[in-house]
């Protein structure tokens, strides 16, 4: 089949965007399930029937350090997942087109 360069119309752009978006979301679900226990460890949640615990000033700095580490982990995982979603999406063949990565030279 001969390869022909075509324009990326709004319809094709929407197909490409949706293809990327749902893949990124699917990859994010297991990571979110893994990170949820970390968040429960960091944030003091009240037990059912008990009042909300009051945070003491000496508890703030350690909690912020843990929150930063979780944020850093989430950002790194987010970048890796988005790259994987992009690689997965680039293998897709739509009815009237497919994407191909070519060198700029």
Tens digits of residue pLDDT in 63-101: 888 889 888 988 999 999 999 999 999 999 999 899 988
78 part of a folded domain: yes
Q: How many domains does the chain have?
A: 1
Q: Do the domain assignments include residue 5? A: no
105 located within any domain: no
What is the domain extent for residue 84?
A: 10-45+56-90
Q: Report if residue 61 sits inside a domain.
A: yes
Residue 88: what pLDDT? 94
Residue 97 resides in a domain: no
Has residue 53 got a pLDDT over 80? no
Q: What percent of the chain has pLDDT over 90?
A: 41
- Three-state secondary structure of 15-57: HHHHHHHHHHHHHHHHHHHHHHHHHHHHCCCCCCCCCCCCCCH
């Amino acid at each position: 089949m001969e390869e022909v360069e075509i324009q990326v119309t709004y319809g094709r752009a929407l197909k490409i965007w949706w293809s990327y978006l749902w893949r990124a979301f699917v990859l994010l679900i297991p990571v979110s399930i893994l990170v949820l226990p970390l968040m429960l460890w960091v944030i003091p949640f009240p037990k059912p029937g008990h009042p909300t615990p009051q945070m003491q000033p000496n508890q703030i700095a350690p909690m912020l350090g843990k929150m930063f580490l979780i944020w850093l982990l989430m950002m790194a995982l987010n970048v890796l997942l988005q790259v994987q979603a992009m690689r997965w999406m680039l293998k897709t063949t739509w009815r009237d087109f497919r994407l191909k990565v070519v060198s700029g030279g």
